[in-house]
Amino acid sequence: MKASHEHEWEAAPGLPSALPAGERVVWQGAPNWRSLAIHAFHVPKIAIYFSLMLALQAINLTTPSSDLDWKPLLVAASLYIVALGLLMGTAWMSAHSTLYTLTNKRVVMRIGIVLTLTFNLPFKRLAGASLKPYAKGMGDIALALQPEDRIGWAHLWPHQRAWYINHPQPTLRCVPDAEQVGQLLQTLWRDACANEGLRLTDGATEPDAASHSQPGVIA
């Protein structure tokens, strides 16, 4: 995979520095921009809202004594189309500037359109994972961090789990073949923890990115 011009400084695509000995890239992927536009930027919902606003405006402009004045409607519709176009453009740029990486020891998230940020999430610092599936095999894989580890919500957006503001969860958004990626993440996590002698706490479950349950807990 060839790095784009703005990411030529990377040691390898998606990685700010060379991997240490014993670590290897297992999987890399990026969000599907159409799915991201739907589920992260909510373009269809906003389009429905704009349509309702146009309908209400048309009703208000219609009077029994005169025909409908189309000029205000055309102006409003033009502005709505521009707004939707900007949202879709932002979704496209967000998807094409993002690269998610799974190695045998960590998750790496390179995100950001203007300001590029890279987050390294070692498996031993993950408290769990959960999958939210979408149509056509797309899905979000949310990563719960240990309580003492925090990443700012604004730094992650839109690569975070919705409504988790106090304890943001970094999320691989709208990745293709999400269930297979989740199973791979689970396998890599299990192997990494076994190699480092980590174990699950009593009554907890390991991170299962192929399930819809709350994240498990790791000790």
Chain segment 27-84, per-residue pLDDT in tens: 999 999 999 999 999 999 999 999 999 998 888 877 666 666 788 889 999 999 999 9
Asked if residue 22 has pLDDT above 50, the reply is: yes
Q: Are strands 171-175 and 25-29 parallel, antiparallel or unpaired?
A: unpaired
From the centroid of its chain, how far is CA 7?
20
Token pair 């784009």: residue:
4
Mean pLDDT of 169-183: 96
Q: Which residues have C-beta within 8 Å of that of residue 165, sequence separation ≥ 6?
A: 153
Query: What is the rounded CA–CA span in Å between residue 90 and residue 173?
Result: 14
Q: Looking at residues 113-139, what average pLDDT do you find?
A: 93
Average pLDDT, the chain: 84
Look up residue 151 and give its DSSP letter: -
- pLDDT-derived band at 212 (thresholds 50, 70, 90) equals very low
Query: Tell me: the pLDDT tens digits for 90-110?
Result: 999 999 999 999 999 999 999
Tokens of 144: 């719960």
Instruction: Please report, to the nearest 10 degrees, the dihedral formed by the alpha carbons of residues 92, 97, 103, 106 taken in order.
Output: -100
Q: How far apart are CA 89 and CA 95, in angstroms?
A: 10
Give the model's pLDDT for residue 59: 82
Amino acid letter, 23: E
Question: What's the rounded mean pLDDT across residues 200-205?
Answer: 34
- As given in the structure block, the two tokens for residue 41 are 């930027």
In this structure, what DSSP letter does residue 54 have? Answer: H
pLDDT for position 196: 66
- Nearest of 110, 119, 133 to residue 39 by alpha carbon: 133
Residue 12 vs residue 37, higher pLDDT? 37
19 in helix, strand or coil?
Answer: coil
Q: Residue 131's pLDDT band (boundaries 50, 70, 90)?
A: very high
For 42, the token pair is 């909510």
